[in-house]
Structure 1
Amino acid sequence: MAPGPYESVMTPARFERLLLQTSDKAAHAILAQSKSHDRQAQTYAQMRLDIRTRWLQGWEHFDAVIYAMQQSGALLLQRDDEIEDEHSEVRRALSLLHAASTVVLFEIRTLLGEGLWSGAAARWRALHELTVTAKLIHTGGSAVASRYLKHGFVVQTERLLKYWQAHKRGPVPHAELLRRQERATKLIAELTLQDERGSFRDAYGWAAPLMPIAKSGNRVSPTFDRLEKLAELDNLRLLVHSSHGLVHADSAGVTAAVVVEDDAWALGPVPNFIETVARPTLLSAIHCIAVTHLGFEPKANDFAQLIGPLGAAAMKVARWGVDSFGSPQA
């Protein structure tokens, strides 16, 4: 059989020398060429313009939701700083989740506007988890909110300590990490329930008190699909399955992200599936805003009467956004 066009006989040693001889020159050529790829840059600029124009009203609503969440977030944080009572840990946890959701919304908006739909869909999975968590903290009240905040401390401490042990460096001094580890160990012992199979340090260990008791007498382990059901957001489970592939880049996720059509593979941004990601994103935002705004206070006090209408207005804009992404404007 005749050799193919790229086949030749070369020893590993000769191939290594070839790489060393040509790589430096080729690297400089790549740098030079990448600075002058005007046609490709113009193509991407036109694609971004097309995405913006096609969904013009939808983007206006999407941006307005982000703006509203940023403004409300500042009020939530200020309120959390000003008052200390039996509801404080709920406020702290909801403020944290609201801020994180706002950042993720901004990330999704940026990725979609750039034609990077698969990255945006992966970030929707994070927004969905934040929304589920916020709903359960609202349901569980101060006890669950306190566990959530302490769980964050325990898990973050363990991650930082493992990194330090492996690399002997990190953002937190080693002495401080040891102090944190001592406190984390006490929290694990204190907050691990006697009837749970796992430990407080486990994933979703903060939610253990919300789980039912099984026939064995042990509490059912908290898993994300179970938390979705408790939060009454399990209607999105099929989307979660799809986004898992994009988050973890499994075989199906890679195929979905790259194979745009049977004979077309993506090597960069594509103007596809914008509305497919935008609509569930804004629906998740509606649920998240409802909980973080309407559940922030335990009663209809002055602050509740301020933040509640702001949340209702933001939810209405998000609903308009869902409708706007239902059909293109061009």
Structure 2
Amino acid sequence: MNIGYKFGDIQNQLHELAEELEDISSEKLMEISKSLAAPMLKNYLDSASEHYQAALQDRHDFELRNGNKWQKAFSLFDSYIQLSFELVAEYRKHNEVAAEKAENHQFIALIQLHAKALLVARETQALVTAGFADGAMARWRTSHELAVCSRAIALSEESGFRFLLSEHVKNANGMRCYDEYHERLNHAPFTPEMREINLQREAQALEILGKDYPKKGDYEWARPLATLNGIPKKKRISLKTLEELVGLDHYRPYFSWACEKNHAPSKVNYANLGTSCDESSPLFLVGASSFGHLEPIDCTVLSLLFTTTACLSPYPSVDTIVFNHVLSDFAQQVSESCVAMEKEC
């Protein structure tokens, strides 16, 4: 969309009124501003549909070029996600009756986390396909946390049970936050019935988690695993603590890097994945790019590997051992294809 406007035009148009504007009331200035804004807004609204159709075509054309350029890596990435889905779907079907009879909370928690990992992987895939490598890397941050939590639960059945219970504490806390702001948001409050349900479930969960659970942070559900590894009860469990416990702390530099892409940047060239490494001067990337897809794809595949193998752990068999090898070797192939493509860029 061409806004058809040069900044300062309005001020120049009102130059003759400059002396009057010095003493003009805020009400009069607001009236003048609205009268000038109304036709401009109408023009932009009227041209929105035309602009959108052109933008759709531009994005379609770019995605074709981007897809052709990264074809092998993109196709392997897609197949890897699909294999992870189909494998766990079959594993779940084969074991869900036994899990239900045994009330296996570990199995339930891991299936739940794996489903979320698949969703995030598809979101990451959509972002790299559309040319947003930095957004994809930011989304990987969730994939990493899912992998860490999955491995923690795979190592501790009790932690899996506590993980599921923690939902009720989060729901109650979310309700309290909503209560504080619903009037300013012009939203309806929780009904008394829903409030009572949330509070009852929270109270029941805290009977097992401990009354002081809400003060100890989001990862206190993993206390059984932490205790098993000699971490004192008074020490707060962070994501970094869990990373160390499950052997994924060496991804902390990538996690920190991904976190930067979720926050207001202080770096000049914050979009450093989607810009070419040959650029000699800083760029402010505001759109799609065919650069930088190696890291988000590679990291996402590895995290999905960790989550999937953890998900298969409650009911081990020869099948799971074989597919662990398949997934691991497949992940290596995806990584190598991305590295090869990155070198060509």
Tell me the TM-score normalized by structure 2. Answer: 0.79
Matched, 1:18 2:14: no
- The question of 1:319 aligning with 2:332 is answered yes
Pairing 1:148–2:163 present: yes
CA contact (8 A) 1:242 1:253 kept: no
Deviates more, 1:284-293 or 1:93-102: 284-293
Structure 2 matches for 1:92-241, cutoff 5 A?
Answer: 92-140=108-156, 142-164=157-179, 166-167=181-182, 173-192=191-210, 199=214, 202-211=217-226, 218-241=233-256
Inter-partner Cα distance in structure 1 for 2:112 and 2:80: 18
For residues 28-69 of structure 1, the C-alpha deviation after alignment (integer angstroms, 9 at most, x for no partner) is 322333333466554433321222111111111111112122
Q: How far has the Cα of 1:124 moved from its partner?
A: 0.2
SS at match of 2:314: coil
Tell me how far apart the structure 2 counterparts of residues 57 and 264 of structure 1 sit (CA, whole Å). 29
Structure 1: gaps of 5 or more residues: none
Given that 2:172 and 2:198 are in contact with CA atoms closer than 8 Å, whether structure 1 keeps it comes out as yes
Percent identity over paired residues: 18
Matching residue within 299, 324, 329 for 1:280: 299
- Aligned equivalent of 2:3: none
Give the Cα–Cα distance (whole angstroms) in 1 for the partners of residues 284 and 56 of structure 2: 19
Indicate conservation of the 8 Å contact 1:118/1:257, yes or no: yes
Query: Is contact 1:90-1:145 (8 Å) kept?
Result: yes
Structure 1 window deviating more from structure 2 (86-95 vs 127-136): it is: 86-95
Kept in 2: contact 1:90–1:137 (CA 8 A): yes
What is the 5 A alignment of 1:237-252?
Answer: 237-247=252-262, 249-252=263-266
**RMSD of aligned Cα (Å):** 3.3
Partner letter of residue 148 of structure 2? V
Distance 1:110 1:217, change over 3 A: closer
Aligned partner of 2:75 among 60, 63, 68: 60
Gaps of 5+ in 2: 1-6
The aligned amino acid for 2:210 is T
Task: Please report how far the alpha carbon of residue 127 of structure 1 lies from its aligned counterpart in structure 2 after TM superposition.
Answer: 0.2
CA distance in 2 between partners of 1:61 and 1:267 (Å): 28
Contact 1:213-1:219 at 8 Å conserved across structures? no
Distance 1:110 1:160 in 2: 32
Corresponding residue SS for 2:261: helix
Q: Deviations over 1:278-318 (max 9, x none)?
A: 1111121222222112x031x43xxxx44554454344333
**Aligned match of 1:88:** 104
Q: Is the 8 A contact 2:106 2:314 kept in 1?
A: yes
Offset at 1:111?
Answer: 0.8
In 2: Cα distance, 1:94 partner to 1:16 partner: 57
**Structure 2 CA distance for aligned equivalents of residues 136 and 217 of structure 1:** 17
Q: Is the 8 A contact 2:128 2:293 kept in 1?
A: yes
2:271 corresponds to which residue?
Answer: 257
Q: Is the 8 A contact 1:66 1:102 kept in 2?
A: yes
Aligned residues: 316
Which secondary structure state, in structure 1, belongs to the residue aligned with residue 286 of structure 2?
A: coil
The answer as to whether partners of 1:282 and 1:319 remain within 8 angstroms in 2 is no
CA distance in 1, matches of 2:133, 2:231: 45
The verdict on how the C-alpha distance between 1:237 and 1:245 changes in structure 2, with shifts beyond 3 A counting, is same
Structure 1 position 216, deviation (Å): 11
The answer to whether 1:30 aligns with 2:30 is no
Q: What per-residue deviation string (whole Å, max 9, x for no partner) do you get for residues 211-246 of structure 1?
A: 259999643210111111111111111111111122
How far the C-alpha of 1:80 sits from its partner, in A, is 5.7
Indicate conservation of the 8 Å contact 1:116/1:270, yes or no.
Answer: yes
Cα offset for 1:256?
1.1
Paired residues of 2:217 and 2:238 also in contact (CA < 8 A): no
Give runs of aligned pairs for residues 35-50 of structure 1, distance below 5 A: 35-37=49-51, 40-50=55-65
- Report the residue type matching 1:176 in the other structure: M
Q: 1:319 to 1:208 in 2, by over 3 A?
A: same
Which whole-Å deviations, capped at 9, do the CAs of 1:62-86 have from their partners, x for residues lacking one? 1111212222343344346423244
Letter in 2 for 1:285: L
* Structure 2 CA distance for partners of 1:110 and 1:216, relative to 1, 3 Å: closer
Superposed displacement of residue 90, structure 1: 1.1
The answer to whether the 8 Å contact 1:286/1:318 transfers is yes
Deviations 1:115-155 (A, max 9, x none): 12222111100000000000010111x21110111012221
**Letter matched to residue 314 of structure 2:** F
Asked whether the equivalents of residues 290 and 315 of structure 1 are also in contact (C-alpha less than 8 Å), the reply is no
Secondary structure at the residue paired with 1:220?
Answer: coil
Distance 1:183 1:35, change over 3 A: closer
Cα pair 2:77 2:301 within 8 Å, conserved: yes
Aligned residue identity for 1:238: P
Letter in structure 2 aligned against 1:278: I
